[in-house]
Amino acid sequence: MSARGRNRRCRYLAAACAVLAAWLLALDFPGQAQADRSAAPLVLELKFDAEGLADAARRHAALVLITMDTPGGLSDAMTDMIHHILDSPVPVAVYISPDGARGASAGFLILLSADIAAMAPGTRTGAATPIVMPSWVTMPMDEVLRKKINNDATAFLRSFTEKRGRNVKLAETAITEARAFTEREALDGRLIDLVVADKDDLLRQLNGREITRFNGRKETLSLENYTRADFEWSARQRFLARIADPDVFFLLLLVGALGLYTEFTHPGVVAPGVVGGICMLLALYAMQILPINAAGVLLILLGLALFVLEAKFASHGVLLLGGIVSMLLGAMFLVRSPLTPAGVSFGVAIAAVLPFAFLTVFLMRLVLKSRRWKTVTGKEEMLGEEGVVTEALGGGEGMIRVHGELWRASAKEAVPVGRRVRVLRVDGLKLEVEPVPRATSTDE
């Protein structure tokens, strides 16, 4: 390679490394540019995101403000969030807002775990009795199991509620009796610290307030002339959150299935298999996050089976229509739980299922049609072909011409020169032939 070519490759490599480094910095270190302590106290606002608490510590925030309006959530996610709140070096305030919002179930425990618990007028919290989410296998909930789950939840609640100075006995009734509280009932019962109209009112009342952190350390909040900033997700976080969207998950599932199906039915194409494999793995990642309904998955598999049968049998479109209906129902049932009222949207399901159905039937018909084609390569190509004898086959071996090539051949009977013969078998470089009846013989 010339020196100029090597220099060009080095420049390209350096540019690619620079772009990759910038991308990695953007993915892994969100908010690093704001890590320096600002002159005014920083109040970092976020939703349920544990990484936001770490970002607040890096930016030396004076307070983390979590605004909450939720019917609840999964136990593992709640536990992880509470652990991050308790370990946060930055004080955390949880505020149920706006008016009419709720912090139920898991949200109730997160509210009580914060350094400051506040609610807006007209809001509610509580109703924290654990429920068993629908899953692949439904496990019967007997009385012993119910007590075990409730006792574990109340013990976890006591572990931090008592240290926060809240009413432990009243808080436990939200689990044992599924009791819920208005903002005034929660304040009078010493479950929360404040009832405020909005965020600005909350921050004004917190300025100069002394709080006790979870480790027992006293701290006075200094929020004079504060500035508020929203926690921004990194590109990596936005990408992973997008994958967990039910519509995107359904599209990844179909594209993955279609790509792998194309690769299996048309080996060697490569690209569909690569794309399908990546999409299927991303869909499997989303399945670990979303509450997947087994009935939805089975309906989608049934739809795929009906598409394949449509290509094999003449059903006049009945199997195709049944497959489309089955797959649409599967999309509707695929992501559904008491905590996710919105699953795959109907518009996305229609737009994805119809092309998927016709492509699957079309590809399967190509496969079935190819099985009827005559082999055109290898020794199988010679079977049944006709040729002309060029050296008489007199009970031994002779020569014939097939496809313009001379082959050594043998026959069970004598065949004169010029007679047409048909290939019966290929044995290495020798052909076994038989004479073609004169009635069907044609001039070459």
Tell me which residues are annotated as active site. 105, 148
Q: What would the two tokens of residue 309 be?
A: 């049968």
CA distances from 369 to 31, 257, 314, 357, 378 (A): 58, 22, 14, 18, 20
The values of phi and psi at residue 421, to 5°, are -135, 160
Is residue 347 within 8 Å of 317, Cβ to Cβ?
no
Q: What would the two tokens of residue 380 be?
A: 């199988």
- Taking only Cα atoms into account, the Rg of the chain, rounded to an integer number of angstroms, comes to 36
Is residue 264 within 8 Å of 106, Cβ to Cβ?
no
Question: Packing angle between helix 246-265 and helix 318-334, nearest 10 degrees?
Answer: 140
Is residue 245 within 8 Å of 58, Cβ to Cβ?
no
| Cα–Cα dist 50/78, whole Å | 10
Is residue 127 within 8 Å of 147, Cβ to Cβ?
no
